[in-house]
């Protein structure tokens, strides 16, 4: 994994790090010693940041969810002090511009994460809706989310995946994504099956439901 820190307009400091993907039960078996490449010494880490996404060695996405949740609540705490000084429409615009984009950024990679991590992100959206309407924690949040036209986090992730698949099927996505989608009719062994005439996509078989092969 390559990360670059800008020192000035002419000079860069490049830091090389690497990490291993593994199941939680096998994390203790991962090598901890540094790897020497030429004159550089590369140290393995458990969490790496790439394009604003935090990846864990166990592929749980826990670090990314926790950091996103913490950053969103920090913004909401700052907004709380000005809630009574501005109109609700203005406050809603601030939340939509500074909080929701953090929840939306690359959230398609969160598909399949544990329910408790989804609930952490949902708590951010619930708190934002409560502040917009100045409601208490005892009030039902679903009517507020419907009025704001905000999807639940789990639905939001599914919607993002659906849009991505639609773009892949209609030539609106990069080829490295579109080439990974296949219809059953493309397989010689399934052309005569009833599923070959459907619009469903083939799901590749895997030995491990969580980490793949």
pLDDT digits (tens, 9 = 90+) for 29-58: 666 777 777 777 777 777 888 888 898 877
Contact yes or no for 30/57 (Cβ under 8 A): yes
Rounded Cα distance, 100 and 55, in Å: 21
Rounded Cα distance, 56 and 51, in Å: 14
Query: pLDDT tier at 168 (50, 70, 90 boundaries)?
Result: confident
Give pLDDT tens digits for 190-207: 666 666 566 777 766 766
Quote the pTM value: 0.75
With vertex at residue 208, the alpha carbon angle to CA 32 and CA 111, rounded to the nearest 5 degrees, is: 90
């Amino acid at each position: 994994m390559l990360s670059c820190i800008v020192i000035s307009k002419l000079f860069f400091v490049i830091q090389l790090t690497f990490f291993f993907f593994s199941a939680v039960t096998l994390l203790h078996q991962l090598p901890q010693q540094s790897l020497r490449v030429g004159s550089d010494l590369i140290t393995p880490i458990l969490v790496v940041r790439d394009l604003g996404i935090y990846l864990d060695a166990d592929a749980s996405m826990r670090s990314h969810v926790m950091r996103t949740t913490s950053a969103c609540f920090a913004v909401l705490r700052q907004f709380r002090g000005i809630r009574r000084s501005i109109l609700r429409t203005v406050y809603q615009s601030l939340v939509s511009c500074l909080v929701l984009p953090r929840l939306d950024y690359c959230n398609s990679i969160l598909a399949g994460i544990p329910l408790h991590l989804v609930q952490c992100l949902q708590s951010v959206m619930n708190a934002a809706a409560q502040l917009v309407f100045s409601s208490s924690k005892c009030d039902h949040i679903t009517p507020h989310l419907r009025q704001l036209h905000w999807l639940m986090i789990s639905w939001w992730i599914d919607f993002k995946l659906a849009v991505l698949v639609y773009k892949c099927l209609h030539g609106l996505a990069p080829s490295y994504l579109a080439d990974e989608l296949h219809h059953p009719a493309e397989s010689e062994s399934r052309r005569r099956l009833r599923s070959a005439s459907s619009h469903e996509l083939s799901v590749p078989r895997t030995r491990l439901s969580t980490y793949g092969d």
